[in-house]
């Protein structure tokens, strides 16, 4: 079993109103040091596969087809454990 940690984020240049709202709130709390916030999604997907390479191929497909919308989002993932 391979466990993928998948991060889906809005592409650079795509407006992120949630990120903006979170940043404003952080500023209100006094964290003036915050210059940008981007909100994304974090998914943990466990895959049965014969090798990490196989699992990687599958997860890539899943991301491209469903988990991320390539028009507005980027994704990256890493595997943890066995």
Partner 1 sequence: MKAGIIVFPGSNCDSDAMHVCQQVMGWDTDYIWHAENQFARKYDLILIPGGFSYGDYLRSGAIARFANIMSAVADHAKGGGYVLGICNGFQILTEANLLPGALLRNNHLQFRCEQVWLKVENADSPFTCAAQEGQLIQVPIAHMDGNYFADKETLEQLQENNQILLRYVDETGLLTAAANPNGAIHNIAGICNEAGNVCGMMPHPERAAEHILGSADGRIIFESILQHWGER
Nearer to partner 1 by C-beta: 71 or 80?
Answer: 71
Single out the residue of 18, 46, 52, 54 in contact with partner 1 (rule: CB under 8 A): 18
Window of 13-21, 44-52, 53-61, 74-82 that interacts with partner 1 by CB under 8 A = 13-21
The nearest distance, CB 53 to partner 1, in angstroms, is 26
DSSP state for residue 29 in the 8-state scheme:
T
Q: Where along the sequence are the contacts to partner 1 (CB under 8 A)? A: 14-15, 17-18, 21, 41, 66-67, 69, 71-72
């Amino acid at each position: 079993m391979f466990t993928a940690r998948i991060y889906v984020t809005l592409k650079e240049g795509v407006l992120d109103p949630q990120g903006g709202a979170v940043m404003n709130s952080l500023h209100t709390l006094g964290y003036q040091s915050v210059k940008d916030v981007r909100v994304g999604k974090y998914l943990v997907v466990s895959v049965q596969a014969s090798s990490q390479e196989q699992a990687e191929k599958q997860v890539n497909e899943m991301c491209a087809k469903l988990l991320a919308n390539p028009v507005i989002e980027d994704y990256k993932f890493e595997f943890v454990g066995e």
